[in-house]
A and B are shown apart, each in its own frame.
Chain A
Amino acid sequence: GNSVTQMEGPVTLSEEAFLTINCTYTATGYPSLFWYVQYPGEGLQLLLKATKADDKGSNKGFEATYRKETTSFHLEKGSVQVSDSAVYFCALDDYKLSFGAGTTVTVRA
């Protein structure tokens, strides 16, 4: 079946540091890939998505590229802010969504 594996947290960074969260997937078809973010006390919201190989999704300074050859969809941001502190979920959609376990990111001023 489909599955998503993302790096374990928690991750703690200083402001303006570079953030990478690794995500790899296993799927039988050609799924769409998503990153969702959950801010404290809130539900999940879509951060970015990519629907086919080599697509790059981007939003709020975050980027992720759909790499079919390595079955990966790593999330990156060049300079994080305190407001980026949240839990980040990688997910794939091949008929239904499958989520990774989530990575908690804390950015310190």
Chain B
Amino acid sequence: DVKVTQSSRYLVKRTGEKVFLECVQDMDHENMFWYRQDPGLGLRLIYFSYDVKMKEKGDIPEGYSVSREKKERFSLILESASTNQTSMYLCASSLTGDSNQPQHFGDGTRLSIL
């Protein structure tokens, strides 16, 4: 089974801090994704990556950046955390960019910015 592991289940940070969310997948997947999940809004794509050192903006990239130095690891960075970034963050991976390939999700990180 594919395993996508997010480093923290719960995280509390302060406004203005630089925050790192880490995600690791163990199935040699090409693609990795970061979403945020908010009630009534479903999942919204922040950034995704189709290859090492490659990244593309999703629908809501403002205030975020990402890093993919190794194929198995995809990091989401909040450059200067703000209270409106309090949310559930979900990482996902898929084998290829083919639309037949489902995405596999981690258990999420619930981030609170005070």
Chain A residues proximal to chain B, CB less than 8 Å: 4, 31-32, 34, 36, 41-46, 49, 51, 89, 93-97, 99-102
Contacts and interface: CB of A to CB of B under 8 A. Distances in A.
B102 A34 contact: yes
B101 to A, nearest CB: 8
A102 B105 contact: no
B99 A46 contact: no
Contacts of A32: 99-100
Interface string B40-83: 11111100100000000010000000000000000000000000
A37 to B, nearest CB: 11
B83 to A, nearest CB: 22
Given A36-B105, A51-B99, A100-B42, 18 more contacts: A31-B99, A34-B102, A42-B107, A43-B4, A44-B43, A44-B92, A46-B104, A49-B102, A51-B100, A93-B99, A94-B99, A95-B97, A96-B58, A97-B33, A99-B42, A99-B43, A99-B44, A101-B41
Interface of B: 4, 33, 40-45, 48, 58, 90, 92, 97, 99-100, 102-108
Contacts of A41: 107
A101 B40 CA distance: 5
Contacts of B97: 95
Contacts of B4: 43
14 contacts: A4-B42, A32-B100, A34-B102, A42-B107, A43-B90, A43-B92, A43-B106, A43-B108, A44-B92, A46-B104, A49-B102, A89-B42, A95-B99, A101-B42
